[in-house]
Structure 1
């Protein structure tokens, strides 16, 4: 039986991520990269599609579960009638070793631990050839299929059908270490890992990375964990930031809105860069800029909205019919067909992020500014084109107001790059394009009767992305037109639980079956809007509510089903966490303003 999404913990080695259930089962893992085919896919099916369970045999309860400080080293405290154990799960960092370590330490009495291993390469389709051997370091189970190999060092397992099972006893004061390591099948199996050293190095890495964050604000712990999640979803070598480590976790249980998020969206990554920069993580921001330069290099007309972890462009969408999906939600997809969409806002998102990087003192190099000029040329060449919008609608292309505003923002950043930062470029020409867009948006994207901006030109439907208009400076947060837009959003999109939908799926022809749960980032944007427009109490109350939707490890999914108190969508979701950071920053700014003395 699949666990609720909120019952999972994330492990990360900055190359890929594993999801571990509260019950001790690793139900999702792709080796060696985030976007590699899975070796464990039980989260999208059953244990027959691959998993690794380590838990006490018989009756047991989880006393507590937490990360060690600011790390992704997970500790689960188990209690049975005969004793207690502490299970420490982690993925070693810094050694390029694709592995998971599970250390079981006896705390009290004696506990019999059970182990079940089902290895299924290729998203649950490929049964490996399995053998067991011994060397000077102990027992090994080897699994090989095609280019992939896995080696497990653990107490001996026994074949049971197409799985391997076993049990071992842990006494108080004793420790048993298990390691599962991936390697290319044409290479020799790796030597045994020095577990204690790897654990110390992994803890040191994460704590050192987080040490520069020092914020005693009310939501400081949630912000720190969110920044850590954003780092955990960043590939250490390439600098690419994936939107989530999972695919096809449903936006509505039993529905069809199931997408592969294991890729690098320019929009999401640009917003992540902003969140990182705000809190002093300049090195990560530069890593992403370098990734961007490599990914989009070439003809600007070939610009995509997303790329692979290393900048790959070919991400064809495919349905995996053999997987029944999470909670029966099909189809299960790999790849993402939205890669071919034109989304007019993307250039603006990237330009805004790089403008903020300049404002933080980073200098452009011989490549980065010419690239940005070519992006503005691309935007100009498509100035009047309709697009699919920020939400990747699979219906007819439209002139989305948010997209047009982000094009305005792109040219605005170009103008300021020349006039404020001394870079070269046709500032007067960009200014004319920018001002023309502004006039057009105010005429066609604003409904005077509702006193509100609208989702698309000439329509009355609302869209939560309109909350980004003041974020990029198109209007002030307290501009009457923006306040009218917020009132319309609250009327049309705010549900009975106080959460904001992206748009009305039942009223908008987006090419999909209507129905989804509220996208958490939208409600965090509403917190930001409230905080910047004098609605401080409402902002604080909504922020507390949203942070309360995190699991006990501080992780957030893409969406939330408040009626059933359940997470929905891919997990953990970078967009939710970066929006949390922005909302917390806005609340802190509001608190600071309220604390300043009034001057004559």
Structure 2
């Protein structure tokens, strides 16, 4: 049994790790030590900013949101040209879309990657909405408003297109977790003071998206990994919890949770059956997500077990990895990925963020004085 002081200490350490690896311009490095993760993702950053917002690090979160706005508005002419092409019925190749990962300055990575991932373009708006609601920030204006309206326009044009999923796989499929991320972001946008034209666009899109999820992404009473693939994926838990995709559909949410636990989540959580990335280990990130759902549905004992498991994965320096390499699904693939990219990413800022989030849900995260004066250089 891990005592409360140990659990709280890792919250403090996690805040420090995130602050240390946030650029002065607002971007969070996904991992400072893992070469291909020395970039900023909208997806990872959104959950990192949300965690920092939860514990009172408002300046950190707002610097990230401002970075998102600058990064997107720098590409507004290109994004609007893509929307116009879609409106004319022209095919838009995946390689023409804006990137998935960015340098801390907001530039393209300059390296080949699994680009065209729509989920992050929704998730950052969800996190922005949560932050402004939590801290009473009110309606948007200026660059933040312009960036949100741009994202709604972009997502409305392309939400139904196949793209890479949360795990940067299966570019030829439509993924349930991606749809949930998009929906959560666009719903948040409608509460942030967007103009009437954007609000109308969002309403039409959300009606179609929600119908698609219920009609094409549900099988056997639960969510499926993607259209045409009935497997469960642990990322689906976000649709059941924070994204509120299934509001009023508690039976589907519970059935999805039950299957995730049965197939993937003994303590840490595998991504999906058949995963081979670093052998398909148990993800610290996903333990946080599943525990978060458990904490918000009255399963505090289970949620605490997951938090304790997460805490136990920390290094002596208090750094959390992306995943573990014990109890993997296919050990033959551990060396394949180590030879390609080196050991598992440690620290992964997203893991630290989900630890903070779950600890907060269990009342184990202190809402301390912000580190705003300690802006990293």
Q: What TM-score range do you get, normalising by the shorter chain? A: 0.7 to 0.9
Number of the residue aligned with 1:41: none
Note if contact 2:67-2:106 (Cα within 8 Å) is conserved in structure 1: yes
Number of the residue aligned with 2:217: 445
Number of the residue aligned with 1:357: 131
Number of the residue aligned with 1:414: 189
Number of the residue aligned with 2:34: 247
Post-superposition shift, 1:411?
2.2
What stretches of structure 1 of length at least 5 have no aligned partner? 1-215, 249-259, 318-336, 507-511, 590-600
Q: 1:514 to 1:554 in 2, by over 3 A?
A: closer
Number of the residue aligned with 1:227: 15
In 1, distance between residues paired with 2:325 and 2:180? 31
In 2, distance between residues paired with 1:587 and 1:568? 31
Aligned with residue 583 of structure 1, among 345, 352, 358: 358
1:38-53 → structure 2 map (5 Å cutoff): none
Post-superposition shift, 1:494?
2.9
Aligned with residue 375 of structure 1, among 141, 147, 151: 151
In 1, distance between residues paired with 2:197 and 2:8? 41
Larger radius of gyration: 1
In 2, distance between residues paired with 1:461 and 1:361? 40
Note if contact 1:536-1:587 (Cα within 8 Å) is conserved in structure 2: yes
Q: 1:478 to 1:384 in 2, by over 3 A?
A: closer
Q: 1:235 to 1:413 in 2, by over 3 A?
A: same
Note if contact 2:122-2:151 (Cα within 8 Å) is conserved in structure 1: no
* Local SS of the residue matching 2:242: helix
1:117-516 → structure 2 map (5 Å cutoff): 219-236=7-24, 238-247=25-34, 260-296=36-72, 297-298=74-75, 299=77, 300=79, 301=82, 303-317=98-112, 337-338=113-114, 341-359=115-133, 360-362=135-137, 364-393=140-169, 395-418=170-193, 425-447=197-219, 449=220, 451-469=221-239, 470-476=241-247, 479-494=250-265, 498-505=267-274, 515-516=279-280
Post-superposition shift, 1:274?
0.8
* Local SS of the residue matching 1:544: helix
Note if contact 1:557-1:568 (Cα within 8 Å) is conserved in structure 2: no
Number of the residue aligned with 1:546: 310
Post-superposition shift, 1:477?
10
In 2, distance between residues paired with 1:310 and 1:279? 26
Post-superposition shift, 1:387?
0.9
* Local SS of the residue matching 1:310: coil
Post-superposition shift, 1:461?
0.8
Post-superposition shift, 1:478?
8.7
Post-superposition shift, 1:516?
2.5
Deviations 1:143-164 (A, max 9, x none): xxxxxxxxxxxxxxxxxxxxxx
Post-superposition shift, 1:247?
2.4
Post-superposition shift, 1:231?
0.7
Q: 1:546 to 1:514 in 2, by over 3 A?
A: closer
Note if contact 1:558-1:576 (Cα within 8 Å) is conserved in structure 2: yes
Number of the residue aligned with 2:300: 536
Note if contact 1:343-1:389 (Cα within 8 Å) is conserved in structure 2: yes
What stretches of structure 2 of length at least 5 have no aligned partner? 83-96, 329-333, 335-341, 365-377
In 2, distance between residues paired with 1:361 and 1:457? 38
TM-score, normalised on structure 2? 0.80
In 1, distance between residues paired with 2:326 and 2:242? 27
Name whichever structure is richer in strand by fraction: 1
TM-score, normalised on structure 1? 0.51
Aligned with residue 345 of structure 2, among 570, 574, 578: 570
Q: How many residues align?
A: 328
Post-superposition shift, 1:468?
0.5
In 1, distance between residues paired with 2:312 and 2:223? 31
Post-superposition shift, 1:583?
0.8
* Local SS of the residue matching 2:46: helix
Deviations 1:76-102 (A, max 9, x none): xxxxxxxxxxxxxxxxxxxxxxxxxxx
Q: 1:478 to 1:456 in 2, by over 3 A?
A: closer
In 1, distance between residues paired with 2:306 and 2:277? 29
